[in-house]
Amino acid sequence: MFTGIIEAKGTIKSLVNHGDDIRLTVETGKLDMSDVALGDSIATNGVCLTVVDFGEHFYSVDVSSETIKYTGFADYSSGSAVNLEKAMRADTRFGGHIVSGHVDGVGEVLSVTDHQRYVEIWVKAPDELAKYIAHKGSITVDGVSLTVNEVKGAAFMLWLIPHTLQETVMGTYAKGTKVNLEVDVIARYLERLMLGDKAAQEEKQDISMSFLAEHGYLN
């Protein structure tokens, strides 16, 4: 589990194609690697990846074809900057929100507006994620825990302070930038819970107004 509080910016050193997956090596910048062990998890632009090799200033992971398909890794190359966070420890402060490192989809930056003391960014999420994004709710963008300030359909707006822009890759965002999105896991569990006994049925069940009325949520 992660918190969405980025510890360092890293740089992709290499991507080696192994057929169905790639071996990714990341230069870790200021990330403290002294307590990292083989098999540990490091969130890399919000994607939970398992360390298979490491040193004082780098780590390597294997990225599956499934992960490549559903995250921004399809667009990454040697030299790409990435946000880094080691897995949360039980004895540390929980500064952001619950982040699993399981990316739900790839969004696209629609606009970046500089307001001097902060930057306003609009992001378009995949339509199927829109129902999980709420005003003043939490969302993870490239591994960063952020508060949603406004929602319009599947688009949402973020305010980024100078510290966030400096300490994460968000300072490089421009119109068209692809970003990894993870919605609040509590919203996903709530959706599943509301299905009740129907959750055991194999066919896809969607939460609709008729479903809510049938089960007594609307009066």
Could you give the count of Cα atoms lying within 13 Å of 174 in the half-sphere of its Cβ? Answer: 1
Tens digit of pLDDT for each residue in 73-82?
A: 889 999 999 9
**Which has more pLDDT, 105 or 96?**
105
Question: What is the mean pLDDT of the segment spanning 138-153?
Answer: 96
What mean pLDDT comes out for the span 207-215? 56
In this model, does residue 208 exceed pLDDT 80? no
**What residues contact 200, with CB distance under 8 A and at least 6 apart?**
none
Burial state string for 187-218 with b = 16 or more CB within 10 A and e = fewer than 16? beeeeeeeeeeeeeeeeebeeeeebeeeeeee
pLDDT at 196: 77
pLDDT tens figures, 30-75: 999 999 999 999 999 999 999 999 999 999 999 998 898 889 988 9
The pLDDT tens digits of the residues spanning 46-58 come to 999 999 999 999 9
Give the integer Cα–Cα distance in Å for 19 and 178. 24
Higher pLDDT, 94 or 214: 94
pTM, full prediction:
0.86
Task: Report the C-alpha dihedral over residues 209, 215, 218, 219, rounded to 10 degrees.
Answer: 140
CA 169, 174, 180, 186 torsion-angle sign: positive
**pLDDT (0 to 100) of residue 20:** 82
Nearest Cα to 173, choosing from 104, 125, 129, 108? 108
pLDDT for residue 205 is more than 80: no
pLDDT reported for residue 187 = 81
Please name each of the domains of the chain with its CATH number.
8-86 (2.40.30.20), 105-185 (2.40.30.20), 186-213+215-219 (no CATH)
Q: Does 12 score more than 70 pLDDT?
A: yes
